Every structure is written in structure tokens, then in C-alpha cells.
Structure 1
Amino acid sequence: MTTRAAPWRQGPLDDRPPGPGPRLLPYHRLAHADPEHRWWKPLVELLLFGAFYLVLAIVFGIVWAVGLLAVRGEEAMDEVFLGSTELEIMDPAIFFMLFFSLVLMIPALLAARAIMGPRPLGLLLSVTGRLRWGLLGRCLLVALVVYVAGHAAAALVEYALLGSLTAPQPVEGFWWLIAMIVLVVPLQCAAEELVFRGYLMQTVGRWLRRPVFAILLPVPLFTFGHLYDTWGLLAVAVMAVVAGWLTWRTGGLEAAIALHVVNNVIATFFGALGLSDPDAEESTWVALALSAGLQVLFAWLVVRGARRRGVEVTRTVHPPRPPALLAAGHGPGRTVPEPGAWVCPGPPACPGHWAGRVPGPAPQHLP
């Protein structure tokens, strides 16, 4: 039996009860909330996810190529792929192809999770079994304020040192890019968080109890999926650690998604304005310090707010009822008493009075 998630102030962030009783499962251990959990299931889930994603990617690639040829003519494919040594990310067609192909990870992963579990499916999102839209909205607002203030301060420093600022030069197809930045980039960020902070953290958490392993082990996979120099890769790694820590500390993906969305939206928006080169693979320690500082500040503000609001960070899972209670008539289709209530085990032990107590503490109510 699983009850609602416990708020911030109730229970430790650990799933080892001192005795026979309910388990308080943090996010990375949520697979253990499903009685059908088995250690090998995430491996099969990975195979299914890869197969589903491959099929979706092939179908999308065919549709995208046909659409490109219909809009730009027969020479479009040669112009896009053979016209230069690198893909022009700010080309709206290339931008859509690259970012939407990552969005396809969402249906592929959800389909694999629906088949293999754990259930409910929403455990991939948070300890409550759903996406907490209110928390996501607050995190998006905090991230937006932090990033806008940070980049504004960086612009003031640049102006103080150089005496001028780079003038915006919108790229061709600017408004198409803005539409995709608003509609596609957030989904791309959510897809990466579902895979790297959702599936991978919970997979590690099936086997290893300590959250440090669930947070750190997926970091290299996320980091080396980006093509940057050392400073750029370090910036990506810092973001992965911060996002993983926030996922564990807040009990869900909302804060990590918000951080990822605002970071990528602002970066691609600057690229559309011609204020940065999205194809650049080189970075500096200054850029690393700026991004790391903004992410740490965001994490501190989010955790502070989550603690104050009593955000759910664990899921309470009660052990199965003992066979004695099932034999007494509390089986499927019967009314199940609340934990802590008095029940009658039936004759001859209880010919006509109440006796015995359902194992487990009385249910906790969220403030």
C-alpha cells in the first residue's frame, strides 16, 4: 500500500526504516514503491527505449526530409548536408531537426516505462506520481530571474571594460527560430531530464541506496554527449550535478527541467539574435564561472523555497498486509482498514469484540 508523499519536514531522506514499518523512498529509490520491481527490469527498459526511439527517429527523419524537399526544392538536401563542413544550427530546418529529434525520447521512454514499470508511470516525474505544475512554474520564474539578472550583470561588466556592447544582428529566419525556441526547446530539455535525471537516476537507485551514486554516475554520459572543449564540458558537468542534486533534494524533475529550459532558451535566443555563436565548441573559465554561479544560486533559492513550502521529497510505502489479516477476510474486494485502526481477526480469537492492530503507523496528513 502506498500513501501520499511525505512533506519536507517529515521523515529523513532515507528508505531504511529502523524496524518493520513504512519506507520513505526518495526520488532515486522510487522503483522500490512498485511490488513488481525486479533488478533486471531497467536493462530491458533500456532495450525497449532504444528500439522505440530508433523507430520514431527513422519515421521523423523521413517526414522531415520530405518536408524539406517540398519547401526548398530538390537541391535542399545537398545544400544542408554537403554545402559546408558543419551544420548551420541557426538554419530553422536544421534547428528543428536537431532539437525535435531529442523530443522523441519522451514517448519512447514513456512507452518503455509503461511496459516494464515501475507503476504508476508518474513516478518517473516525482515522488507524488505526477508533474507538480505549481513547483515547475515557481522554478521557471526563479531561474528566469536569476539568469536575466546574471546576464545583465555580465553585460554591464563587459560595457565597463570595453566601453561598448555587441549589437544584435538577428539571423535569417529569426521568427521561425523564436517559435521553435518557445515550443520545441522546452520539450527537448524535458526529454533530456527524463532520461538523464529520471531514468538513469532511478536505475542507479534500484541497485545503490546512497543518492551520491545516483547523482554522479549519470554525469559523464550527459557531459560527453556535448561537443565542447574542457571548459565547456566542465560547465555541462556542473549543470548535471546541480540538476541531479535538485532532483533528489526536491523529490522530482521540476527544478531540473526549469534550470535546463531557461539555460537552453536563453542560449538559443542569444544565438538567434547573433549575440553568440551556437556552433562554437570553445569556451572560457569566465563562462564556466558565470554558468556555475547562476546554477548554484538557483539551486539555493529553490531548495530554500521548497523547504519553506514543505514540498514533498519522499514517498511513503507501507509493507504488504500479513497473511493473517488476509485469512481473516481482508482480501481483494473487501474494505481495508487504515493503518493503526483496530480490526477483528475473526473467530475463535475474536467472537464478538475488537482485537489486533493493523501494522504500521497512522497515516500522516500533509500540512
Structure 2
Amino acid sequence: MITAYHRLARLERTRPYRWWRPAVELAVAGLLFVVLQAVWVVPFLLINGAEQPGGIAEGNPTSMLFGYGAIALTIPAAFVAAWASGRDVRALWSIERRFRWRFFLPALAAFAAPSVLALAVGVLAFGAPPARLDAVFFSCVAITVLLLPLQCLAEELLFRGTLVQSVGAWASSPWVAYLAPVPLFVFGHTGGGGQLVTVSIFALLAALLVHRTGGLELALALHIVNNANVSYANFSGIADLDSLRAFLPVAGLLGAFVLAVLANVVVGTKVAPMPTYDAHLRHLPHPTGDLLFQSAASPAHGGVPVVAPWFAQTLGPQMHGWANQLPWVRTAQGSGTTTAQLTNDHLRLTYTVRTEPEISFGLRVDNLDDVPRRIQLALHPYWAVDAAHARVTGLEGAPYLDKVAGVTRTLEAPIVFGEEVDRVVRTTAQCSLSDAHRTLTFTPHGTDHVVVWNPGPEVCAQDENLGADDWAGFVCVEPALLGESRDGVVLAPGESAEIGLDVHVTAPTQP
């Protein structure tokens, strides 16, 4: 299952996780949140005089510029803090490591609709707002449109991003991760008891939206609508009325909250089907023991990572492509078979794993683009064996690239381990991996290479993402479609390619 949003700080890292790193992130974020506001507040007071500019709720351009600007300037705080703690800063946005405009824009339109309707009813029933439609009024409108969304973004990044993910690095429960920042958010918004109730409801709805959709987009949309509604009610003078018109902005806000509740149901199951998966199989139970190795030092090293749409960095900057970095959607499950799909960059990947009656894997790519695409496919299984006594047979006589030595050779004997091995073998043949405990026989389909890899003790000792003795617990035998010259294969528009792997396990006959 793909890492939940509140747990991304634990696994999506550029440096290994340590228990103290989330504390560093919180400290840096808090410090920058104060310092960056001071960068805005101090010059603002010097320019406008020492007299307090007032709160945002006073509804004048000076107070709005002062309040919204100070918070908006703290946007970099969350990203700098995430970088300082050694994690992927893109994970602040969503489980897809990006801002998902396809979620944000429809949500913004939907949440704003009740307020727009309330505004229209107010104009038709009561005429122009109480405030004069002068330069001051339109200055407030401009600040609301241009600066208020940035203020909302800064708060979402801090309260539903940094705080949630930092707490989530320590606590696996979403209840703890999402509820812990709520009091800070609520009491950071001053006002009467009624306002605190509204802010509390909003904070809980926003947290639920982030958890259900795996990102900040819908919470940000609701935040913008909420703040814009309140801002307009203040600077238009409607909030000061005693008539029915003063209730219209409240009605618009209640409508947005109701839609947010519905969005938690609809979006979480339709637009972003839950649960989603990273398609990284981590365990493969078998009577002889789990067939897959899993490193305690890094979850990325172990199981069966999916490699697509390229191998290594042949066709792009991300190591082994983006297939193992984005969320997949499970499309079928039952009778020992699970199928998941991922569509990205005009390519559709379909991944099928069967565990009954025999173990098999299938990985297919369809070119949905209107131009030819060059792709590569591979599976990267970490087979659990005693590497010091393991050997790979069946590849003898095949040419291979020795990536350690940087030369091309012909394989003349079984591959054994004890030092770094990284060989890209040009073959379609069946091969076997065996130790004293069991033999795994691999039958590939649709492939043109087999990659055999083990880091050996020296590399393990130097790589902080591997345990010092990890090399002795696995060997990677990877079926791959790399292309004749290892530069990929070209798929015409509408064309597909598919690789497969059948695995047969035998144990030595007991005397």
C-alpha cells in the first residue's frame, strides 16, 4: 500500500530517517515562520508608522496587507525545513509528490459556488453592499484575490503539511498526526467563541480532506473560500449589519462546509480511489520461507520494485523511472491475483502479480500518446538467499556488460557472489538462483536481458541506505526489456509491450 500522506516524511527521504530529524524540521519551520514574518512586519511598521495597523478582520487595505502579507511570506519555511531534515520536499504537496491541479481547480469552483450564489442573492435582494465602491473597496478586492490565496497556502503547508508529516514520522496513527496540529491552528486564529468554533470545524474538515485525498489541494481550496468569504463580509460592511443580509455569507460558508463533507466521500473513492498502492511487493510467503529480502536500513531496498518507463537513468533523470514513485490504483484482486494500474505522461502501466497456483509477474505498458515513445521495463526483485553460497546458472555463453569493470564479456561460468556483481546479460533464457536452502527457477517472457546484482560487502559498508551485512541476504535477478543496445524500445501510438516472469521454487530433497 502506498505510504499515507502523514507518513511520507518517514520514507520519502534524501537522507536516511533518524528519530530526531522530524524535530529538526519542526524547529527550522518554527524559526523561519517567525523570522520571515518579521522580515515583513518590521519594514511595514517603519514605513507606515509605529501605530498598530490593526487586524485583518478590520477590513481595510492596510490591515489586510499587513496580515496576509506577513503569513504569505512564510511559504518557503515548510520547504526549507523539509530540506533541512533530509526528505523529499515535493512530498509536502501530495502522495504524488506534486501539486495536483486536477483536484484543486474543480474543488475551488465547487466550494466557492455557494458563496457566489449568496453574493448574487444579496445583490439582487438588497442592492450594492454597505461599503462605498471606491478605491479602498477595490484595493481590498485586489488584496483578497492576489494575496489571500498565498496566505492560505502558507498555513496549509505549515499546519497540514509540516506539522502533520513530522508528527506522522513518529506516530503511525493518522488520528495522532492530524489532530495534534489542530489546537495550534485554532488558537492561532484569534476571535470570539463563535469564530473559534468555526475555525475548529474548518481545521477538522481540512485535516480529513488531506487524509482522504492524500494531499493539500482540497484543503487549500476550502481554506481560500473560507477566508475570502470572511474577508469580503468584513470589508464590504455586510458583517456589521443586523439584517438578514448578514447571514448570507454564513450560508455560503456553510454550503462550502457541506460540500467538503461530501467531497470526503466522493473524492476519496472516485477521483482518487483509495486505497492506492505503490506496486512495491514487499513480501512473498512460501513454505520454504519468504522469497523476498527486505532491508532494515531502507524500505526501498527489498521486495520487488517496479522499474518503468526506463531502467537506471537511461531515458530520464529519476533512477529506474517514475513507476515506483507514484500511486497505483488496484483494479482487481482475488484468487491469488492482484492487478494495479498507473497512468502518467501518456503511458499506462498494468502490473499483475499471481501467487496461486504458481508465482508469476506481468508488467505491461500502453502508449497512449499520439507520438512514438521509447521505453524500458524491468522488475527488480530482491530474492532472499544466502548470497555467500548462492549461484546463478543457465546464463553461460551469453554476452553481458560488466558494469563494475565497464567492459563487455561472455559469461563462461555460473555467477557467484562475495564481491560487487552488476551484470546486464543479453539473453532470453531460463535461469536459476540457488543456495543450500532452495532453488528458484526463472522463466522470463517478452524480455531481452537479465540483470544480476549484488553489492558485495564493501559497497554495503559504504552505503548508508544498506545495512553492513545486507549483501549476504539477497541476490537480484531482474527480467528486463532494455532494447538491443540497452537504449530502449520504441512503441508507436497505441502500441504496447509486456514482460513477464514465472517463478518455480524447489527445496533440496531431505535424506
TM-score by length of 2: 0.52
The aligned counterpart of 1:13 is: none
The aligned counterpart of 1:26 is: 4
The answer to whether structure 1 residue 77 and structure 2 residue 40 are counterparts is no
SS at structure 1 position matched to 2:278: strand
The answer to whether structure 1 residue 104 and structure 2 residue 73 are counterparts is yes
* Counterpart code for 1:250: T
TM-superposed CA distance for 1:234, in Å, is 1.1
1:182-221 to structure 2, matched below 5 A, reads: 182-221=145-184
- Residues 114-151 of structure 1 deviation map (CA, whole Å, 9 limit, x = unaligned): 121321x1101100001001111011011111333466
The aligned counterpart of 1:139 is: 107
The answer to whether structure 1 residue 338 and structure 2 residue 379 are counterparts is yes
- Residues 268-287 of structure 1 deviation map (CA, whole Å, 9 limit, x = unaligned): 12222221259xxxxx9999
1:256-335 to structure 2, matched below 5 A, reads: 256-277=219-240, 291=253, 294-301=256-263, 303-310=265-272, 314=276, 316=278, 318=280, 319-321=299-301
**In structure 2, how many angstroms separate the alpha carbons of the residues matched to 1:359 and 1:224?**
56
Query: Which has more strand, going by share of residues?
Result: 2
Q: Is contact 1:142-1:302 (8 Å) kept?
A: no
Q: Decide whether aligned partners of structure 1 residues 314 and 41 sit closer, same or farther in structure 2, where only a CA change above 3 A counts.
A: farther
* Counterpart code for 1:100: G
**In structure 1, how many angstroms separate the alpha carbons of the residues matched to 2:247 and 2:138?**
32
The answer to whether structure 1 residue 63 and structure 2 residue 43 are counterparts is yes
TM-superposed CA distance for 1:313, in Å, is 6.2
Q: Note the residue ranges of structure 2 that are not aligned, 5 or more in a row.
A: 281-298, 304-311, 321-377, 396-429, 433-439, 443-475, 479-511
1:343-354 to structure 2, matched below 5 A, reads: 348-352=391-395, 353-354=430-431
Over the matched positions of the two proteins, sequence identity in percent amounts to 30
* Counterpart code for 1:148: V
**In structure 2, how many angstroms separate the alpha carbons of the residues matched to 1:129 and 1:258?**
18
**In structure 2, how many angstroms separate the alpha carbons of the residues matched to 1:81 and 1:234?**
27
Q: Decide whether aligned partners of structure 1 residues 167 and 107 sit closer, same or farther in structure 2, where only a CA change above 3 A counts.
A: closer
**In structure 2, how many angstroms separate the alpha carbons of the residues matched to 1:290 and 1:221?**
26
Q: Is contact 1:100-1:184 (8 Å) kept?
A: yes
Q: Is contact 2:58-2:235 (8 Å) kept?
A: no
**In structure 2, how many angstroms separate the alpha carbons of the residues matched to 1:298 and 1:87?**
25
The answer to whether structure 1 residue 251 and structure 2 residue 214 are counterparts is yes
The aligned counterpart of 2:360 is: none
Q: Is contact 1:193-1:257 (8 Å) kept?
A: yes
The answer to whether structure 1 residue 90 and structure 2 residue 59 are counterparts is yes
* Counterpart code for 1:33: L
TM-superposed CA distance for 1:291, in Å, is 4.3
The aligned counterpart of 1:49 is: 29
* Counterpart code for 1:349: V
* Counterpart code for 1:126: S
SS at structure 2 position matched to 1:24: coil
SS at structure 2 position matched to 1:349: strand
Q: Is contact 2:93-2:99 (8 Å) kept?
A: yes
The aligned counterpart of 1:117 is: 86
Query: Which has more helix, going by share of residues?
Result: 1
Farther-moved stretch of structure 1 (249-258 vs 260-269): 260-269
**In structure 2, how many angstroms separate the alpha carbons of the residues matched to 1:64 and 1:139?**
34
Give the count of matched residue pairs. Answer: 308
Superposition RMSD on alpha carbons, in Å?
4.0
**In structure 1, how many angstroms separate the alpha carbons of the residues matched to 2:179 and 2:391?**
56
**In structure 2, how many angstroms separate the alpha carbons of the residues matched to 1:304 and 1:359?**
42
Q: Decide whether aligned partners of structure 1 residues 142 and 230 sit closer, same or farther in structure 2, where only a CA change above 3 A counts.
A: same
**In structure 2, how many angstroms separate the alpha carbons of the residues matched to 1:316 and 1:185?**
35
**In structure 1, how many angstroms separate the alpha carbons of the residues matched to 2:41 and 2:272?**
45
Q: Note the residue ranges of structure 1 that are not aligned, 5 or more in a row.
A: 1-22, 69-75, 279-283, 324-331, 361-367
